[in-house]
Amino acid sequence: MRAWSIITTFIFYTLIIPLVYAIPRNKTIDDVFGDDTTAALPTYSPGTAWHRGDQCDGCLVQPDTTQAFDGTWHDATHSAADTQPVFMELSFNGSAIYVYGILANQVPFATTATNLTFTLDGAVVGTFVHVPDSSSDFIYNVPFYTNPSLPMGQHTLHIESNAVTQSALILFDYAIYTYVLLRYPHSASVAYLTTMNIVSTTAPSPLPHLPFPLPLHPLPLPPPLPPPTPSPNPPIPNQTSQP
């Protein structure tokens, strides 16, 4: 029997862990000029039903271009007699989406009611209804649909006008989505120290297995940025939005 003295073993493990910074950024999708980062444009269908409102001399509904985002908007009037659906779609890579438009009230000889359904990635997520009041006011920067808690990734938002019992108008101005930018500025070296004492009167047992590499877990994403604060407007009647 060989006697073994106390053996103290120090084992060092050095693990390089990248430090990740999650930085949320708001991006804008204009009705005419599209995504201010990717240049992707909204799609409008059918093309004959939609008009660039600021250049439409024959359109009865004429909001103030100085109050519209970038001075532009798209409009479409959907008649209950139409056989084709009237809709638009936005594609974006982000974690939140906010859709803004313009509402009209009394305009002679024009349809000004708004009735919209929102479908996100194939699932219905909200509706918006505006019943015109007796004024002739336009209302700008109206949140048609907001969803601040999407999984980060590619999404498609389908916005369809509903004209089941009466004609409906849509005045789309712009949308804002939140994109989370991940940055890896540098790495940190983290040392792990394991101390083990072995006392035996026989041959030493093998050293226990250490868990290496250690598991890494992604950092939680920060909360989405709020959309820009719209200018004060009169209350908007009869609107609903679902997350």
Checking if the pLDDT of 137 tops 90, the result is yes
Q: Are residues 7 and 35 in the same domain?
A: no
Q: Are residues 61 and 157 in the same domain?
A: yes
CATH of the domain at 159: 2.60.120.260
> Domain range spanning residue 4?
1-19+186-206
Q: Are residues 4 and 117 in the same domain?
A: no
Instruction: Read off the pLDDT of residues 7-32 as tens digits, 9 standing for 90 and up.
Output: 444 444 444 555 667 788 999 999 99
Q: Are residues 191 and 113 in the same domain?
A: no
**Which residues are bridge partners to 34 per DSSP?**
30
Entry pTM: 0.71
Checking if the pLDDT of 152 tops 80, the result is yes
Q: What is the largest CA-CA distance in the chain?
A: 108
In a domain, 211, yes or no: no
Q: How confident is the model at residue 212 (pLDDT cuts 50, 70, 90)?
A: very low
Structure tokens at 50: 């939609």
Tell me how far apart the alpha carbons of residues 170 and 115 are, in angstroms, rounded to a whole number.
8
Tell me how far apart the alpha carbons of residues 49 and 62 are, in angstroms, rounded to a whole number.
16
Once rounded to an integer, what is the mean pLDDT over residues 186-205? Answer: 43
Q: Are residues 15 and 25 in the same domain?
A: no
The least confident of 2-11, 23-32, 113-122 is 2-11
Instruction: Read off the pLDDT of residues 171-184 as tens digits, 9 standing for 90 and up.
Output: 999 999 999 877 76
Q: Are residues 111 and 13 in the same domain?
A: no
pLDDT of residue 163: 87
Q: Are residues 126 and 73 in the same domain?
A: yes
Q: Are residues 55 and 102 in the same domain?
A: yes
Tell me how far apart the alpha carbons of residues 160 and 42 are, in angstroms, rounded to a whole number.
13
In a domain, 198, yes or no: yes
Checking if the pLDDT of 222 tops 80, the result is no
Q: Are residues 33 and 14 in the same domain?
A: no
In a domain, 78, yes or no: yes
Checking if the pLDDT of 125 tops 90, the result is yes
Q: Are residues 124 and 91 in the same domain?
A: yes
Tell me how far apart the alpha carbons of residues 115 and 169 are, in angstroms, rounded to a whole number.
8
